[in-house]
Amino acid sequence: MKIVGLTGGIGSGKTTVANMFAEEGVPIYIADIEARNLSNTLPIIREEIIEIFGEAAYQNSILDRKFIADKVFNNTGLLEKLNSIIHPRIAEHFKEWTSKQNATYVIKEAAILFENGGYKECDYNILVTAPKKTRIERILARDETTESDILKRMENQWSDERKEKFADFTIINIDLESTRNAVKYIHKSLLEMI
Ligand code: ATP
């Protein structure tokens, strides 16, 4: 079974695109959601996070993501420690999940794929892009957040130009109909290539 990575900057529409692949019958794994679930349910992750970040990292047994994000922001050492706790467990969970799927390929959606070398573990990679202004508008409409917070999060991700060099396919997600057509085209191409 082949693994197709799917990524894009915040608000580009990764999850929207992943859901379109799901409509084509492709199993999808949303790494950020799985990481969130594992952080709350896997005792080993919990213990290691508390060891590094203290008891305040969890509020009522739920990982306080804002607390963690504030701690690791601009602290590469801590971010690396956090990744070394989460990443191996996610990789293991993904492998186990993959072994249960019955499909030609699966989609692994991850916010960070090129930045951390994760794309190398995928057979093909898809990048979703949209103009920065559009992405900010989408996030403001979806989440309770501020423009400066969004810009701060964007700074931690590579630019689309840099990511495009690594992608096998790029979807410019502006209008949903064109995006759906692009998904159908890529799905067909992948089935032919695999
Ligand atoms: P994040 O990085 O924050 O997880 P994402 O890249 O997964 O975001 P989505 O959650 O898919 O992005 O999309 C962000 C918001 O924009 C959602 O509310 C979604 O419904 C909307 N959206 C996505 N694509 C389009 C589009 N082509 N036209 C209009 N709205 C869209």
Q: Which of the four pLDDT bands, split at 50, 70 and 90, describes residue 153? A: confident
Which atom of ligand 1 is nearest to 111's Cα? 2
Does 7 sit in the ligand 1 pocket, CB within 6 Å? no
Q: 22-61, pLDDT tens digit by residue?
A: 999 999 999 999 999 999 999 999 999 999 999 999 999 9
Asked if the model's pLDDT at residue 155 lies above 90, the reply is: no
List of domains in the chain: 1-27+104-194 (3.40.50.300), 33-100 (no CATH)
Buried b (16+ CB within 10 A) or exposed e, 34-53: bbeebbeeeeebbebbeeeb
Give the residue, by CA position, lying nearest to ligand 1 atom 22. 13
Binding residues for ATP: 11-16
